[in-house]
């Protein structure tokens, strides 16, 4: 399956402007341009649906997107009091107050800049709050409870995603079931190496386990927006967009989603065989389609 192909019919609402059978690939100059595209999309969604449910991710890739959205929200005085959010994942064993917990990170990078109601923004580890992995009864129940909470909220409208160098999304490492729900996972060594930069470059400080939305949970969101920047993500993007759908590149499941958008810079797009077509398709798409 190749991203960017397929018909794009008009859909029934402003936050579901198009439904296509494969991802749309947008190649941008830099992270700021990608952020503007995401920010405009989500701002328009909130205007049309004040109680929108946002899927949130941590890491460096979404930061420009959150900054762009915050600027639009403030510049256009958009009411976000009813907006709720559900994060992708959380480390197991870190208290919520730890600066690198995803509870703290989401509060710092999303809740405060956008002015969201903190009581409406959730991470999978909220009920754990540092519970050790050994407390199996409590840890095992947290994942299914999180999936039920998302369903009770009406499901996620727009889920933002980053991608790991090995093709993981959330903390769904290679080999993760494409039908998986929120559950406990063991972090791959490469993921811990990549994330050590947030822990004083000391891999020994990086937890070995996490709780993460599964690929099956992620795929239930109505719109997926994946961001990737830099040459280090080029191979993962190639496999995601133009490779086969496989659990060994979990992000490749996006090929099966009815409304997925993949936004990459030139370096991350460098290995795509059909990048000229993706540029052409995006340049010539009607403005009313949005992303």
| Domain boundaries defined on the chain | 24-284
pLDDT band at 190 (very low <50, low <70, confident <90, very high): confident
Question: 173-177 long-range CB contacts below 8 Å, 24 or more apart?
Answer: 173/250, 174/247, 174/248, 174/249, 174/250, 175/247, 175/248, 176/214, 176/215, 176/247, 176/250, 177/214, 177/215, 177/216, 177/247
Structure tokens at 166: 């090995």
Catalytic, out of 15, 103, 168, 259 = 168
What gap in Å lies between CA 213 and CA 180, rounded to an integer? 8
Q: What is the pLDDT of residue 191?
A: 82
Looking at residue 8, its pLDDT comes to 38
pLDDT of residue 195: 87
- Give residue 162's pLDDT band: very low, low, confident or very high (50, 70, 90): very high
Q: How far apart are CA 38 and CA 30, in angstroms?
A: 13
Told to judge if 265 belongs to the known catalytic residues of this protein, a careful annotator would answer: no
**At 3, is the pLDDT very low, low, confident or very high (cuts 50, 70, 90)?**
very low
Please name the CATH architecture into which domain 24-284 falls: 3-Layer(aba) Sandwich (3.40)
Nearest to 72 by CA among 35, 124, 105, 101: 35
Tokens of 38: 């995401």
130 confidence band (pLDDT: 50, 70, 90): confident
Share of the chain above pLDDT 90, in %: 83
CA 266 → CA 209, 276, 279, 290, distances in Å? Answer: 33, 11, 11, 21
What's the sign of the alpha-carbon dihedral 149, 151, 154, 159?
A: positive
Catalytic site includes residue 89: yes
Strands of 53-56's sheet in order across:
24-28, 260-265, 223-228, 158-161, 53-56, 84-87, 121-122
Q: Which of 36, 89, 194, 265 is catalytic?
A: 89
Asked if residue 231 has pLDDT above 60, the reply is: yes
Q: Which tokens in the block code for residue 221?
A: 């969101």
Residue range 245-289, pLDDT digits in tens: 999 999 999 999 999 999 999 999 999 999 999 999 999 999 888
Q: Which of 24, 36, 157, 173 is catalytic?
A: 173
In the set 24, 157, 166, 194, the catalytic residue is 166
* Active site (annotated) includes residue 135: no
Could you count the other beta carbons within 10 Å of the beta carbon of residue 113?
16
Residue 10 has pLDDT above 60, yes or no: no
Active site residue 166: yes
Q: What is the mean pLDDT of the chain?
A: 92
Residue 22 — very low, low, confident or very high, per pLDDT cuts 50/70/90? confident
**What is the share, in percent, of the chain residues with pLDDT greater than 70?**
93
At residue 58, the pLDDT reads 93
Give yes or no for a contact between 249 and 239, defined as CB atoms under 8 angstroms apart.
yes
Beta-carbon count within 10 A of 285 CB: 16
Contacts (Cβ under 8 Å, ≥6 apart) of 118: 107, 111
């Amino acid at each position: 399956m190749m991203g960017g192909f397929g018909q794009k019919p008009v859909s029934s609402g402003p936050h579901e402007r198009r439904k296509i059978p494969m991802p749309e690939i947008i190649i941008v100059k830099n992270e700021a341009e990608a952020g503007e595209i995401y920010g405009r999309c989500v701002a328009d969604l909130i205007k049309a649906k004040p109680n929108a449910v946002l899927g949130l991710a941590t890491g460096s890739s979404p930061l420009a997107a959150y900054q762009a959205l915050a600027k639009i929200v403030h510049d256009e005085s958009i009411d976000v009091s009813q907006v709720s959010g559900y994060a992708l994942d959380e480390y197991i064993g870190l208290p919520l107050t730890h600066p690198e917990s995803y509870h703290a990170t989401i509060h710092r990078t999303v809740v405060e800049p956008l002015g969201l109601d903190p009581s409406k923004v959730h991470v999978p580890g909220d009920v754990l709050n540092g519970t050790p992995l050994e407390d199996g009864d409590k840890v095992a129940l947290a994942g299914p409870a999180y999936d039920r909470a998302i369903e009770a909220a009406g499901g996620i409208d727009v889920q933002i995603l980053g991608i790991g160098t090995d093709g993981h999304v959330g903390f769904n490492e290679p080999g993760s079931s494409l039908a998986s729900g929120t559950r406990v996972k063991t972090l791959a060594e490469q993921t811990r190496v990549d994330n050590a930069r947030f822990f004083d470059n000391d891999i020994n400080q990086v937890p070995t386990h996490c709780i993460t939305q599964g690929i099956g949970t992620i795929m239930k969101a109505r719109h997926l927006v994946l961001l990737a920047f830099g040459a280090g993500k080029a191979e993962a993007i190639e496999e995601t967009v133009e490779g086969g759908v496989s659990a060994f590149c979990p992000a490749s499941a996006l090929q099966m989603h009815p409304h997925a958008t993949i936004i990459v810079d030139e370096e991350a797009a460098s290995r795509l065989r059909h990048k000229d077509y993706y540029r052409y398709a995006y340049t010539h798409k009607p403005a009313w389609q949005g992303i």
